[in-house]
Amino acid sequence: MKNNYNLRSHAAKAIGQVLDQGQSLSTILPALQKNISDKDRALLQELCFGTLRVLPQLEWCIQQLMAKPMTGKQRTLHYLLMVGLYQLLYTRIPPHAVLAETVEGAVALKRPQLKGLINGVLRQFQRQKEELLQRAANNESRYLHPGWLLKRIKQAYPANWEQIVDANNQKPPMWLRVNRLHHERAAYLQLLQEAGIAAEPHREYRDAIRLLAPCAVTDLPGFSDGWVTVQDASAQGCVDLLDPQDGEQILDLCAAPGGKTTHILEAAPKAQVMAVDIDEQRLAR
């Protein structure tokens, strides 16, 4: 990952676009994932989503390790540090590789003079990791929610706010939607079994399958031919409740990038569907 491409620096820039510019990772990542290997594409996605998922904890750790945060033009280096801490806490990447690649990210971000700072903070975290995690377990950063949101949840659900917060922090399962124009769900489950991919059907939604362990979409039978797509079960349930029929006129608002639109047309190929969205980038997708 030399040749001027550094995955960690791209993750840091993407996180900055989310936090400072209010953009969505779903619109930022596709462009960043072009022209890189499937393995690197998956790692970039994990670094971005993972860092943002545990943001309060990472922010708290950096506050303990640095006298003052990096601001202004150096802000992206603050996000690079977060990416480094996330790897040390939540991935199986060897620590020496984490440090080497994250420090090299400072060069890719045109701040080579800060390599020593990035290296020093990450090494200090390694030395103090157990102590910091024990202290973090006693403050609200452990809930991994912004303070304003945690306050609102506590006020609205005083009896069970902790269960709600815990549920929010669970990693979502990987759900597939079988294209019923190609296969019935039972037939596709058989294909998954033959491919050695463990899965189970949803109890209510007719096209939904949950993978017991996530996998690369390229491993899914017929993915490139449209036999199946990745879509959360709750989104699939919308179309089951709609129960579209051939010949109906259906208006799909806020439709991009088109998951429910295509599901409607798989369920009712002869329906007249108009899909509308305000976001040109999402429409293109």
Which residues does the annotation place in the binding site? 254-260, 277
Cβ 104 vs Cβ 4: under 8 Å:
no
Euclidean distance between CA atoms 136 and 61, whole angstroms: 8
Burial 242-266 (b: 16+ CB within 10 A, else e): bebeeeeebebeebbbbbbbbbbbb
The phi and psi torsions of 244 (rounded to 5 degrees) equal -65, 150
Euclidean distance between CA atoms 253 and 32, whole angstroms: 28
Token representation of residue 42: 């998956």
Binding site for S-adenosyl-L-methionine: what residues are annotated? Answer: 254-260, 277
- Name the DSSP class of 14: H
- Tokens 């902790």 sit on residue: 162
- Output Rg (C-alpha) for the chain, integer angstroms: 22
Euclidean distance between CA atoms 10 and 30, whole angstroms: 12
Token representation of residue 34: 């072009």
Q: Is 273 helix (H, G, I), strand (E, B) or coil?
A: strand
Token representation of residue 31: 């462009």
Beta partners for 276?
253
